[in-house]
Structure 1
Amino acid sequence: MALPLHGVRVLELTDGFGDTAGRFLADLGAEVVRVELPGGSPSRSAHPVRNGVSVPFALRNANKLGVTLDLEEDEGRDRLRALARRSDILLESFPPGFLAARGVGTADLCRANPALVAVSITGFGQDGPYRDWAATEPVLYALSGVLSRSGEPGEQPLLPPDGLIDESVGVHTAWSALLAYFDRLHTGRGQTVDISAFEVIVHGFDPGFGVQGSAAAGRSEDFPRGRPDAANFYPVYRCGDGQVRICLLAKRQWRAMFEWLGEPEEFADPTYDTIPARFAASARLNPLIEQLFSTYTRDELVVEGAARGIPIGGLNTVSEVLTTEHFDAAGTFVDTEISPGVTARVPSGYAKVDGQRAGVRMRAPELGEHNDTVFGSDIDGAHDPIPALQREPGGRPFEGLRVLDMGVVVFGAELGRQFADNGADVIKIENSNFPDGLRQSKRGAALAASVAWGHRNRRSLGLNLRSPEGIRIFKRLAAEADIVLANFKPGTLASMGLSYDELAAINPRIIVSESSAFGSVGPWNKRLGYGPLVRAACGVSALWRYSDTTDALCDGSTVYPDHIAGQVTATTILATLIHRLRTGRGAAIEVAQADTAIVQLGSQLVAEHLDPGSIGAPGNSDPYSAPSGVYPCGGDDEWCVVTVRDDTDWARLCGVVGRPDLADDPRFATAELRIDHRAEADEVLTEWLLRHTPTEAMETLQAAGIPAGAMIRLPELLTNPQLIARGAYTELEHELLPAPLPTAKQVAHFATLPDWPLRQAPLAGQQTREICERVLGLSTVEIDSLVRDGVLQPPADDPALSPVPSTV
């Protein structure tokens, strides 16, 4: 089939944040024209560089056409306006005001083409006190609260691997662009969209005030200083040929581990069936497990664990990921040209549509490579309109769509919420015998906060899909639905008679999205899909530690990549909805969480392929610039991230710290020399930082144009001046919660789309009767009978569940 965005035209003027959005849209089939200024984009020299090629640039600009325009000249500006008139979506990441000062700002281009969706991507957004600040990945990790949860207790906080933020911002940008474009198809009106990378990471990467998994440590004020002791949530053990990680979450998993250990008497007490008890006893328990594992290889442990029902996964280094049999079989990588004459093994792409990988098809363009092709064509040429029912602007884009949501835990909640928040009727299918893991993490409250955050704006249908009648009811719903969401083990829907082919035979317009840990193809397709095992298998965990020689991994308190994989899937579904407007047919979509992680680590993987042994865990030392890293400030456990990008930043820094003489010091004359003398450069910066609070240091350095970010803890997000100015938070109430929860109003800022509604999350099965009556047209007698038979599962106070009074 044609890729879903075939025929959609994207005009891209990005460098840094936003490049990856254009790449994702191009992967999905859009024609993306990348515009560069004379001399080329600075990102063409971004590290790592191999064989003279910037690996990040090559990956993030594949599948695009490339042209050059001089926006200081009338001809260049006229050509840009002409390109905008033929385009559907504009992506731009210039500093606020740069394009407007030249008469080609987003407002100007939208006047030239009122149907244009114009998306601006900057570090902190188009307004607010941080508007003109410099943003790097480390700065955003610090300011978003991610850094404060990363690292070992008693040690300095640790920066997560490079690349995850750029890619995550790109995914959210692609989603936001398509959301506004989908709205335009139904209203005829384009709009501007303002995306702040800061807000994307705060709300969308691993949100402190959003859906949480089992690794919620450090998300509250319980850890005001130091990093949470999270290593033993998903402990890592040495074995015969490396390391493995285990996830003992369910009681049955622990009981299997207990039996494998020989049922040691000291752990026989039922108290150890709980995660907190095992965590508290880790100093005694871990040596027993490590001794057992020492006689096995990684592969043997994985096989034995699977046989016993214990989730175990091997820890792969970056080099091992490239040669893993499963990823070869799954088509996760492809060997392709990334620059003229340079071939590499690269991640192939995020998703599959109808079995076809939406991924790399052609290399990134050389500077101006497609000038003749683009400017020599009918640049103002119209293209076939996409038919869509029309409505007035200002509504929710997905009004009228129905989603049957079988998704569970963090990924499932995040995916379904994207559609519920934007107007779809999302019906969450729940079975009381197998409750969603989020509903089981109440921690003593009447309702888990994650349920309130993740299940809002939905309706809940209690339905036993393990009964033939339950399957029949689901198929009746699917006959009139638009989308089905599931993240079970591969093959589960087919085993229930609910595969895409079976549902499409009932409803050719249906879109069925299935997601799993490692995908449906390859030897790992049936592995248990916990995020910590995905991170370990894909190289994320190996890079998320202080050095290659330490056993301690520092990713224990994150739920990456669940939120981002959910957003990847939502974006792919939305692209398919757009395609369905043309064709009237749905599609089968598959996203493996492992593919999300591997695409986002693409630069390290490709650099390692081209130069084996060159990529390892860098800790907090940027291998390509100095001084750069995480530095102590005045106070207890206070830190600031600083990035000196180039010679200009170094000269500015010397002035800020009162050492102008060092600007001409031959030890620091170039980036390479500063890296060679990293310790001396760090000492200069640290001496100054220790005399300031992180906020003072950040504000002073940013005022001088130097990227810097204070490490803030989660509660401080609610008082951050930039987030307050941007209206980033509101409050979410639920009758079962003792107090309102802080929650995001939106991630992107749309000119015409409304903020998300905040209808409270349903109890399990709360709308069962309502849905059966109004959607299926069942009578009260039919519903009562199905309830008594256990097919329908309304709440416990349903009248059909009340005892029938006896008669005398």
Structure 2
Amino acid sequence: MSNTTENKQQTTKLLSGIRVIDLCDLRGQSCGRLLADLGADVILVEPIDGMRSRHRAPVYNGTSLHFEIHNANKKSIKLNFSDPVDLDKFKQLIQSCDLVIDGRNPAEYNIIGMSAEDIRQLREDLIVLSLTDFGLTGPYKDFIGSEAVHLAMGAVLSRSGVNGSDPILPPGELASETAAIQACWVALLAYWQKLHNGQGDLLDFSINDAVAQIFDPGVGATGSAAAGRTAIETAINGRPIVKMIPGKLPSVALLYPIFKCADGHIRICLLNPRQWQGMSEWLGDNHPFRHPKYETNINRIMKVDKINKLLAEFFSDKPREQLVIEGQKRGIPIAALSLPAEVFDEVHFQERSLYTDYVIGSDNGLAPSGYCRVDQQRIGIKQPAPKLGQDNEQVLSQIPSKQAAPQQESTSHLPLRKPLAGITVLDLGIIVAGGDLGRLFADQGANVIKVENHKYADGLRQSLDGNPVPISFAQANRNKRSLGLNLRSNKGKALFKELVKTADIVISNFKPGTMESLGLGFDILQEVNPGIICAESSAMGSFGPKAKTMGYGPLVRASSGLSGLWRYPGNDIVCGDSITIFPDHFAARISAVAIMAKLIERQQTGVGGFVDVSQAETIINALATELLNESLNPGSLKPKGGNEPHNAPNGLFPCDGDDEWVAISVTNDTQWQALCRAMKKPELANDPHFLTSEQRLLCASEITHIVSEWTRTRSPYEIMRLCQREQVPAGNMLRLTEFLGNPHFQARKFFNTLHQPTAGRPLETENGPVGFSQNLPQPIIKPAPVLAEHTREVAKELLQLDDGAISALVASGDLELAKKQQSPLKQKMKTKGVTFAMNVILKYHAFKNAFNRDTIKS
């Protein structure tokens, strides 16, 4: 493998000195890979014949590209676990490490002959992260998962695709990557906790929990287009509507259309009056939608078919680049729909050193190098994946003894320490990616101060009913305090710098350059406090030719190639990502992991640093295996619809009922035999055409038809039970209407309760990032703040100001106090009134449209 010059010179090792034993094979390998990227010494411990993932598709000239991507920067040793000598070496190795990532399901414990709990007992202060499909507890604990199964059972699949069509699978292994990064966040939290209390841990981590919590969370924050509503309220039972249908509620998907142009496709997001004004002026004086009423989303949605027809004609003969340049000049969020090969050629990504050369045999491929940049360096691939056992001599010849953490005085009678207690975060984050990042730290006990003001309020504070703390905002900003501060006044900036002096972290996700224009860029803040860690998240990253691209999720997905892959095969216009908010929650975890690594490094150096996360790059890295394959096999990366491309049967199958589906994944011959038993079709198990994975893939269409005939007469839950009983990965397509009552999530305490005064009722909210832990307490959930609710409190506590000084700063406009709010009863009545008015408007338009033949047909 040959790296870019930057990667060759890279010396940043944030986690230097931390040793990790990696027992992950078919699940979770990205967790160890990211820790290795960050500088940890990650040792892949393999059985004598090597891990099964060394043969996992896609395979190029005998080399698993999946294994290469997921194990770069690691070491490899091989051990014969049936040999007492090698088993003793394994135990010695455990004594030398800080963390064990155990990716085995309990049924696979016999590989080593030790359970995760057995390994945990080998060292008192050892951290063991048990990373299983469904966790070590709960009714589904013995289930086997897969990419498709986790998407189905994580309530993602029911919203993927278009209303009236089959659900479709997102490209790549986005669910698995999402979970692995969450696991990395949990591992570093546990390590940080051990640094402060000396205690080890057994972490019961479920991939399915993580997918449900991060990918498109049912009870997490939603985007600003949802107008404060939750995912359950905006996508109740099905996939989004991309055309206005009489009698149906309008969908936010209508706001993100894709249009064909002269040389490809573009996507636009017209979300506010100013953006529609720009589009209207671009269309010229003669179109029928110039009336100011069309600046309101609801009025445009009611005419969406006619407006989109007009836009389609306008864009059809113009090249993409011209449209993007002109649209951005007019303040219109617009992006080209990139093809897989085009993301390699994008100059912006090249200038940010996103890719690295990766040699496979005698051929040279190109791979996304790593998820983020820290201190102006790409944190990514430095060494290729190891050959089997290549580090046996180096690692086993002299196993260093790990100094046990100092024994702490017993605190078993006291509540567990909050992991991030004592850490102060100045939170300038907005909408989902920014809001969720601060919330992750607040949940773990950090003192998170949301710095905001009324003139430039967080977009998530917008709602249909004027609620000052909409439900979506509450989900992203629970456990925080709000400081009303004017960062555009000289005194306000001076006050912010005073806050920075005693803070640990500053997070923001404004358009790049905003903090610098305020005189609060990282260089300035580091002069104020050399230990400050600044983390900036944006659509395309903090620098590069396209750094100031408008940061809307649908545009990020378009420019990274995700939208073009997440679509129905053969249909260039209809994509399946219309209501997803991926990668917002995912990108927040990437930022959180990088910040935690900097905090750990700062313990030794006392120096802070700068974390730069591009949401587009998080997507591209999550598709790294597929993109490496595309670079070696041009044209191989295509939309997969409802079936995974490397195995059969592996995908989505129709069940009895209206739009009911089940995911079934057969990835080896043993599972095929088991599926035949579940279907009670022994003749298929002996059919010579279906005996091997290669033969089944050649007969994929025939097998899909056979399995579909079996599934379509049964419910998804029956199919799931029949398959899982035979250890075949299978899962029902969970809808949001079933989400809160899911027995497995309930048993694993997935949900907590948020008592938000402005909501009028207790809110279901997600719990902590790991199901069960000995040393990480579940978060105590406190309500999200009204804007500037804690100004006096924070000013006294952190700025040491008295009431007189605070009042003077409020009078001068440098500080702000919360505005007087309506009583909960009045607010509730207002909410009901708005809802009633919305329903009246919708019913009126539905009635009117019923007489419009064209609308009915569409």
Partner of 1:289: 311
**Given the alignment of the two structures, is residue 219 of structure 1 paired with residue 239 of structure 2, yes or no?**
no
Label 1:791 to 1:342 Cα distance change in 2 as closer, same or farther (>3 A).
same
Q: Which of these residues, 155, 164, 170, is aligned with residue 145 of structure 1?
A: 155
Equivalence map 1:89-128=2 (5 Å): 89-96=99-106, 98-99=108-109, 104-128=114-138
Matched residue SS, 2:450: strand
Give, as a single letter, the amino acid of the residue that structure 2 aligns with 1:131: K
Label 1:733 to 1:652 Cα distance change in 2 as closer, same or farther (>3 A).
same
Distance 1:654 1:105 in 2: 31
Label 1:162 to 1:488 Cα distance change in 2 as closer, same or farther (>3 A).
same
Q: Which of these residues, 792, 797, 804, is aligned with residue 769 of structure 1?
A: 792
**Given the alignment of the two structures, is residue 196 of structure 1 paired with residue 217 of structure 2, yes or no?**
no
Give, as a single letter, the amino acid of the residue that structure 2 aligns with 1:366: K
Distance 2:681 2:706 in 1: 9
Partner of 1:367: 388
Answer yes or no: is the 8 Å Cα contact 2:422–2:446 preserved in 1: yes
**Given the alignment of the two structures, is residue 781 of structure 1 paired with residue 804 of structure 2, yes or no?**
yes
CA drift at 1:669: 2.4
Deviation beyond 6 Å, 4+ runs, structure 1: 383-393
Partner of 1:166: 176
**Given the alignment of the two structures, is residue 586 of structure 1 paired with residue 598 of structure 2, yes or no?**
no
Answer yes or no: is the 8 Å Cα contact 2:125–2:404 preserved in 1: no
CA drift at 1:387: 14
Answer yes or no: is the 8 Å Cα contact 1:460–1:765 preserved in 2: yes
Answer yes or no: is the 8 Å Cα contact 2:126–2:200 preserved in 1: yes
Q: Deviations over 1:467-525 (max 9, x none)?
A: 11110000000011110001112222122111222111111111111111111232111
Q: Which of these residues, 460, 483, 506, is aligned with residue 438 of structure 1?
A: 460
Label 1:329 to 1:443 Cα distance change in 2 as closer, same or farther (>3 A).
farther
Matched residue SS, 2:817: coil
**Given the alignment of the two structures, is residue 355 of structure 1 paired with residue 365 of structure 2, yes or no?**
no
Matched residue SS, 1:266: coil
Distance 1:466 1:611 in 2: 52
Give, as a single letter, the amino acid of the residue that structure 2 aligns with 1:364: A
Answer yes or no: is the 8 Å Cα contact 1:215–1:558 preserved in 2: no
Distance 1:104 1:223 in 2: 44
CA drift at 1:771: 0.9
Equivalence map 1:609-648=2 (5 Å): 609-648=631-670
Equivalence map 1:547-586=2 (5 Å): 547-586=569-608
Partner of 1:381: 401
Matched residue SS, 1:750: coil
Give, as a single letter, the amino acid of the residue that structure 1 aligns with 2:368: P
Partner of 1:805: none
Q: Which of these residues, 57, 63, 66, is aligned with residue 53 of structure 1?
A: 63
**Given the alignment of the two structures, is residue 21 of structure 1 paired with residue 31 of structure 2, yes or no?**
yes
Label 1:17 to 1:421 Cα distance change in 2 as closer, same or farther (>3 A).
same
CA drift at 1:670: 2.3
Give, as a single letter, the amino acid of the residue that structure 2 aligns with 1:228: P
**Given the alignment of the two structures, is residue 310 of structure 1 paired with residue 332 of structure 2, yes or no?**
yes
Distance 2:402 2:53 in 1: 32
- More off after superposition, 386-395 vs 454-463: 386-395
Answer yes or no: is the 8 Å Cα contact 1:37–1:70 preserved in 2: yes
Partner of 1:63: 73
Distance 1:173 1:162 in 2: 19
Answer yes or no: is the 8 Å Cα contact 1:185–1:388 preserved in 2: no
CA drift at 1:655: 2.1
Label 1:48 to 1:238 Cα distance change in 2 as closer, same or farther (>3 A).
same
CA drift at 1:18: 1.6
Partner of 1:690: 712
Partner of 2:240: 228
Answer yes or no: is the 8 Å Cα contact 2:532–2:607 preserved in 1: yes
Partner of 2:145: 135
Distance 2:588 2:369 in 1: 18
Distance 1:249 1:76 in 2: 62
Give, as a single letter, the amino acid of the residue that structure 2 aligns with 1:220: I
Partner of 2:773: 750
Distance 1:694 1:263 in 2: 54
Partner of 1:670: 692
Give, as a single letter, the amino acid of the residue that structure 1 aligns with 2:335: G
Give, as a single letter, the amino acid of the residue that structure 2 aligns with 1:381: S
Matched residue SS, 2:254: coil
Answer yes or no: is the 8 Å Cα contact 1:386–1:581 preserved in 2: no
**Given the alignment of the two structures, is residue 261 of structure 1 paired with residue 283 of structure 2, yes or no?**
yes
Distance 1:152 1:570 in 2: 33
Q: Deviations over 1:270-315 (max 9, x none)?
A: 3322223222211100121122212321111111011100011000
Matched residue SS, 1:133: coil
Answer yes or no: is the 8 Å Cα contact 2:79–2:86 preserved in 1: yes
Answer yes or no: is the 8 Å Cα contact 1:542–1:548 preserved in 2: no
The alignment covers a number of residue pairs equal to 796
Label 1:128 to 1:4 Cα distance change in 2 as closer, same or farther (>3 A).
same
Distance 1:416 1:177 in 2: 18
Q: Deviations over 1:447-469 (max 9, x none)?
A: 31111111111110001101111
Q: Which of these residues, 722, 729, 738, is aligned with residue 744 of structure 2?
A: 722
Partner of 1:474: 496
Give unpaired runs (5+ residues) of structure 2.
1-10, 243-252, 822-858
**Given the alignment of the two structures, is residue 31 of structure 1 paired with residue 45 of structure 2, yes or no?**
no
Matched residue SS, 2:140: coil
Label 1:393 to 1:576 Cα distance change in 2 as closer, same or farther (>3 A).
farther
Answer yes or no: is the 8 Å Cα contact 2:157–2:167 preserved in 1: yes
Q: TM-score under structure 1 normalisation?
A: 0.95
Answer yes or no: is the 8 Å Cα contact 1:442–1:449 preserved in 2: no
Answer yes or no: is the 8 Å Cα contact 2:219–2:232 preserved in 1: no
CA drift at 1:383: 6.5
Distance 2:201 2:39 in 1: 22
- More off after superposition, 577-586 vs 670-679: 670-679
Answer yes or no: is the 8 Å Cα contact 2:237–2:737 preserved in 1: no
Matched residue SS, 1:120: strand
CA drift at 1:325: 1.5
Label 1:715 to 1:288 Cα distance change in 2 as closer, same or farther (>3 A).
same
Partner of 1:802: none
**Given the alignment of the two structures, is residue 345 of structure 1 paired with residue 366 of structure 2, yes or no?**
yes
Answer yes or no: is the 8 Å Cα contact 2:569–2:640 preserved in 1: yes
- The percent identity for this pair of structures is 41
Partner of 2:94: 84
Distance 1:474 1:226 in 2: 45
CA drift at 1:223: 5.5
Answer yes or no: is the 8 Å Cα contact 1:393–1:752 preserved in 2: no
CA drift at 1:268: 2.7
Partner of 1:806: none
**Given the alignment of the two structures, is residue 181 of structure 1 paired with residue 204 of structure 2, yes or no?**
no
Give, as a single letter, the amino acid of the residue that structure 2 aligns with 1:410: V
Distance 2:675 2:239 in 1: 29
- More off after superposition, 303-312 vs 519-528: 519-528
- More off after superposition, 193-202 vs 741-750: 741-750
Answer yes or no: is the 8 Å Cα contact 1:81–1:104 preserved in 2: no
Answer yes or no: is the 8 Å Cα contact 2:448–2:481 preserved in 1: yes
Answer yes or no: is the 8 Å Cα contact 1:221–1:715 preserved in 2: no
- More off after superposition, 42-51 vs 411-420: 42-51
CA drift at 1:761: 0.5
Distance 2:774 2:762 in 1: 28
Matched residue SS, 1:173: helix
CA drift at 1:628: 2.1
